[in-house]
Structures are given as structure tokens and as C-alpha cells.
Structure 1
Amino acid sequence: MHALRKHRPLRRVTLAAAATVTGVVLLLSLKPHTAPTVAGTSSAAGASPSRSPSSASSAGSSSGGTRSTGTRTVTGDTVQTRWGPVQVRVTLKNGRITDVTAVSYPSQNPRDQEINSYAIPQLRREALAAQSAGIDSVSGATYTSDGYRRSLQSALDSTNL
């Protein structure tokens, strides 16, 4: 005999109820989207010189009208994302972004390494082309992209650009 025959409607009702309960439990077990937060409570301008020796020497030379001349390296805030911290270091020459380096990013497992092996270079190219933190997210690396953008913006904010 087949389990879903018409002369056993109670069995069909039981199976439908079990499937519904299972579906609801699976939906409720999904993690909600959380926005990345900036780690630490210090300001970007106060925290950057202690992280990078080259930015400490450039911080003193950035007063007055000379703030957009010369080469400076500034490290942005560490941004905590769902998958791990993201932090970037920006090199500026005569007020233009000449290099962006990811100091830290999620790389604890092979999947993180795979995603970030293509996402980090693409984010770097976008930042250099845009000359700002107004860059697009990389598909498949949304959290890393958002953390990268926020850390980059904090570094640029500390240079008053």
C-alpha cells in the first residue's frame, strides 16, 4: 500500500504539518544581516600615527597649506565584518591616491582565501580609479567590500581629503 492513498487522509495531514514546521524552523535559523562596525573607539586621526611609522612622520608635515604635497601613508580603522576584520593602508602623493594595501582581511579558511584573492585586487583597482572610497562592492564579497570601503574612508578622512 502507498503511504499517501486517499483512504488515509490523516497521514497526508501529518506529513504536510511536519514539512511546514521544518520549513519554519529552517527559516528562523537563518542569521540576519548585520552591518559591519568599526573596531576600537579612537578617532582615525589619533589612531593612525601609532599604527604606521611612515604616517607618524607625515602627520607632523600635514599642517597648513602643505597637507596635499609630498608622500603620505595612512592606515584606516579596523572594521569588524561578519567574517573578520578588514583594514587598509593608503599611500597619497600630492593629494592623489597612489596605492591602497589591504593590511588585514578575512583569510582564516580556504573559502575566505578564495573570495579575497580576487576581491582585494579588484577593490584596490576600483579605489585607485575612483580616487575615493566611493567604490562598488565585489559580487560574492559584500562584507569584505563594505569593510574595505569604510576603512578606506576613515584613512582618507584622517588626511582631510
Structure 2
Amino acid sequence: MRRTLLSAAVTAAGVCTLLALKPHQPAVRPVIGSGSGSGSGTPASGTYTGESVETRYGPVQVRITVSGGRITEATAVRTPFANERDRETAGYAVPVLTSETLAAQSASIDAVSGATYTSEGYTRSLQSALDQARTRTRTRTHG
């Protein structure tokens, strides 16, 4: 009886510890109109190429197509390629980042494990492209 009680207590403590270590995700992702850029509102339809972002392993640049205020396509036009490892990392990270971009409709996407620098460059370039699309909308509306 005593061993059973001790075993249950240790198990419960272990489960509580594991639950406490679980990373917390935001309940709601920001919409496309939010972000760190200067533009605001719904992005104008068109194709926009973000800035080329230099990372530790090479440049990353993203091009997006916006239609009806939604990102309909995202393409990495530049990724690190200096060696096989760079190409391999970009090869598995970029499709995940692209999928997350289309799902989130913003640059608020998660980094891909093992491709932190590529993920950061992708996100920064994506935000730059979104800023261009929103600036174009603001210019049309007020200009």
C-alpha cells in the first residue's frame, strides 16, 4: 500500500513538471494587417518582393502574391546555397515556412527547428513584402 501511494505521488509530480515545461502558444495569431511595419490595413493585390536578408549562412528573400487582401502565394527566391548542408536545410525549412505563411496570413510564423537563421531571414523578408503591400494600399487610399 505504501509503495503504491509513493509511486502515484511520484508519477503525479512528474506529470505536473512536464506540463509546466510545455511552451505556451498565443491563443490567436495576428491578422495580416498587423506587424512591425509602417503600413496598416489590408494589403493591395499584386506581387511583392521583400528585402534580401543576410543571415549567418547566406541571403534569404521572399516574394508574395496578394489577391483580395490575402496572401495566395509565397516563394523563397533566395536561400542559403553555399554547400550541401545549406541546400538541405533550406529544402526542408522553406516548404514549412511557406505553408505557415499561407495559414497565418502574416509574418507571425514559427521558426523551423534546425533552421533558425533561415527562418528568421524568411520572416524578416516576408514582413518587408507585407509592408510594401500595405504601403501601396495606404498610398492609393490617401494619395
Same fold (TM over 0.5): yes
TM range (shorter): 0.5 to 0.7
Q: Which has the larger radius of gyration?
A: 1
CA separation of 1:67 and 1:134: change in aligned 2, threshold 3 A = closer
Which of 73, 91, 94 is the equivalent residue of 2:47? Answer: 73
Q: Which residue of 2 aligns with 1:156?
A: 130
Residue 50 of structure 2 contacts residue 128 of structure 2 at CA under 8 Å; is this kept in 1? yes
Q: Which residue of 2 aligns with 1:34?
A: none
- In the TM superposition, residue 114 of structure 1 has moved relative to its aligned partner by 1.0
Q: Which residue of 1 aligns with 2:83?
A: 109
- Partner amino acid, structure 2, of 1:123: L
Q: Which residue of 2 aligns with 1:10?
A: none
Secondary structure of the corresponding residue to residue 64 of structure 2 = strand
- Measured in 1, the distance between the counterparts of 2:88 and 2:72 equals 26
5+ long unaligned stretches in structure 2: 1-36, 136-143
- After TM superposition, list the pairs within 5 Å mapping 1:1-161 onto structure 2: 68=44, 71-160=45-134
- Measured in 2, the distance between the counterparts of 1:87 and 1:156 equals 13
Q: Give the superposed CA RMSD.
A: 1.9
Identical-pair percentage: 60
Give the TM-score, by structure 1 length: 0.56
Residue 43 of structure 2 contacts residue 66 of structure 2 at CA under 8 Å; is this kept in 1? no
Q: Which has the higher contact order (CA 8 A, sep 6+)?
A: 2
* Equivalences, count: 95
- In the TM superposition, residue 67 of structure 1 has moved relative to its aligned partner by 6.3
- In the TM superposition, residue 107 of structure 1 has moved relative to its aligned partner by 1.2
- Measured in 2, the distance between the counterparts of 1:105 and 1:117 equals 9
